[in-house]
Structure 1
């Protein structure tokens, strides 16, 4: 699948198209059992093509496909788009199955060493979707809780190429990208948050994931970091919505709120949670105080940015591939100023840590900070 720059920068999505898109996503999460035909009875082939591109852009191609069958036959997409959509869904299923096989093999290789990786985001969050295999995941994120450098040496001994990066390292294994993290909550503001491990199942296997409190913090900090650079995609909002629906009774919201206050993410968490409640009808009494504190103007601005800009990091990857580091840092600076109101304490840290601090990589000819020496010294 080829992504062109015009797909990233599409502006001013038609309000009717936006309504159809949100209705499709809402139904795909199991919030409602049927699609409202009012959102789709005006659509022609070109409109379905635009909707399909929007679904692709936000990486919800898989989860949205099954609910199309809920529409009356006369309102369904044209056969050309339907078949294209169907083909991509089959690819998503195959990729999801292969990633689960690779994760199982990686665990089997590391567990005899006494290392038990913790699955972050992705496949772990997919367990709470109606059909886990349809939730797109670009890679496998694993937190290595101990002996990180020794694990890296061991993985290198498998004979696969390791890519060293400042915040994590990654390896391509059997066609699957695996990111190895030495920090679970990577944030420029120090936190002494303690991890506990939980186990979930998606019918294929059991997975070690962070406990509910840690997972909530991880999802919110991850989305906040995306807000600054590549943009928050609708999939991030879907992940938060399905997480809340299945875990709201076990999350300690008082503890979570105190940590968000420490990290300077209160406003972002309020507006992001209010969007999940409004757009996807998340039935969770514990978040009602958060939603009541929402600012309608800030909430709408965040939703507009999610719809128009959010692309789950593809633009960053395109800039990296083409070495357009100047465009990357200029865009980062503009977004720091535009969205500072959502998390000012975090933005101030990022302004130094990611804009000023990373310029040293630019001047040494390594604008994105890939460095074996840097990786080895960070333990």
Structure 2
């Protein structure tokens, strides 16, 4: 499997940065190894990026024809779904304008625009953030009036489907649970929200966060999922792309100080190590220098084992089919123990807030 991982990361880096494949000395792979690489790419939700690189390979190094065609079909469907997502976004922007609310697009399609091939980034759901309670409730009231399957977590988010698309409404912007950093975070958000940017979605102007706040939002979202069930490499690719495209806009010392005040600086060092050594982000594109002595191989091993949001752990192989995670308490406890060394206060309050919101939603 080590050979498969070596080729996987070489292809992923090539697709992520649109550059030649660093090395092909491990190719060609056997049909079984290619199948393993395909499954790995799916589990990490980076199959579009990896396929970008595969298209550059000499014909003698390509995967078996049947797998190559299967992969092509899957990537084509990803591109089609991204177009549908963009169309749905455009329609919702019009709806929100009529309601008199102006949400901010988080993650997802808002980050995809920073990829060289946005349509090949595997998409998830559509996340909207509403700045005020009034706007949040007005948008939620519209959803309720439409009927359908709605999941509502009091004071935090509403999840529903719009024309087959998964949509989330959020009243909380940053996924951090340490109450002691809330005052600092609120001041930071107030300053940065004045610098909101916008992107064009199907001819409609959509509001997005400032570069700095966008990075903090995505980074905190990565940490949130690592503290629970895990996540796929796609989310780390998002961080790498944001660092790269905003490298001239972000003052590194300032960002580092923000991470420190949020209590996540030590964990960010680990994340930076993964971005450089595994995803191929050049060191000088990091917002500030990293400590080369801190290695995060154990964290990458966890990510590769668990897959996207923890659904691909072979110990719980039926989770993708059932949509339910097993041994939740044990799995989350292990992650909280591992990361507690790096984000102790966040690790302490994360489960408390999760339990509290679950009680409220009953």
TM-score bracket, normalised by the shorter chain, equals 0.7 to 0.9
> Contact 2:90 / 2:201 at 8 angstroms: preserved in 1?
no
Measure how far apart 1:169 and its partner are. Answer: 0.7
Which residue is equivalent to 1:364?
A: none
Give TM-score, length-normalised by structure 2: 0.87
Q: CA deviation at 1:288?
A: 6.8
Residue 173 of structure 1 deviates from its aligned partner by 0.7
Where does 1:84-233 land on structure 2 (aligned, <5 Å)? 84-146=70-132, 147=134, 148-166=136-154, 167-189=156-178, 190=182, 191-192=185-186, 193-194=188-189, 195=193, 196-201=195-200, 206-233=205-232
C-alpha separation between the residues in 2 aligned to 1:93 and 1:311?
Answer: 19
- Name the stretch that deviates more: 195-204 or 122-131: 195-204
Q: Which runs of 5+ in 1 are unaligned?
A: 1-13, 362-368, 372-379
Deviation (angstroms), 1:155: 2.2
Give runs of ≥4 in structure 1 deviating > 4 Å.
201-206, 319-325
Q: Report how many residues are paired.
A: 345
Three-state SS of the structure 2 residue aligned to 1:312 is helix
Q: Give the match for residue 354 of structure 2.
A: 354
Residue 302 of structure 1 is matched in structure 2 by 299
Change beyond 3 A, Cα 1:202–1:79: farther
Partners of 1:320 and 1:23 in 2: how far apart? 30
The residue that corresponds to 1:59 in the other structure is 45
C-alpha distance in structure 1 between counterparts of 2:281 and 2:249, whole Å:
16
CA contact (8 A) 2:256 2:288 kept: no
Q: Is the 8 A contact 2:10 2:21 kept in 1?
A: no
Contact 1:132 1:202 (C-alpha < 8 Å) held by counterparts? no
How far residue 31 of structure 1 moved from its aligned partner, in angstroms, is: 5.2
How is 1:187-336 mapped onto 2 (pairs within 5 angstroms)?
187-189=176-178, 190=182, 191-192=185-186, 193-194=188-189, 195=193, 196-201=195-200, 206-283=205-282, 285=284, 287=286, 289-291=288-290, 293-297=291-295, 299-314=296-311, 318=319, 327-336=327-336
Task: Answer yes or no: is the 8 Å Cα contact 1:115–1:145 preserved in 2.
Answer: no
Correspondence for 2:26: 39
Q: Report the alpha carbon displacement of residue 251 of structure 1 after superposing the two structures with TM.
A: 1.6
Q: What's the TM-score once normalised by structure 1's chain length?
A: 0.83
CA distance in 2, matches of 1:206, 1:303: 37
What do the CA deviations read for 1:71-116 (whole angstroms, capped 9, x no partner)?
1111100011111111111211111111111110011011133311
Displacement of 1:161? 3.2
Separation in 1, partners of 2:24, 2:325: 43
Deviation at 1:131, TM superposition (A): 0.8
Q: Deviations over 1:257-289 (max 9, x none)?
A: 222212211111111122212233324636374
Distance 1:200 1:104 in 2: 11
Alpha-carbon distance in 2 for matches of 1:223, 1:348 = 17
Residues 289 and 258 of structure 1: is their aligned pair in 2 closer, same or farther, counting only changes over 3 Å? closer
> Matched residues in 2 for 1:254 and 1:211: separation?
17
- Give SS of 1:251's match: coil
Deviations 1:319-364 (A, max 9, x none): 9957666x11221111111222231221122243336x46x74xxx
* Structure 1 range deviating more: 306-315 or 69-78: 306-315
CA gap 1:17/1:203 in 2 versus in 1, 3 angstroms: farther
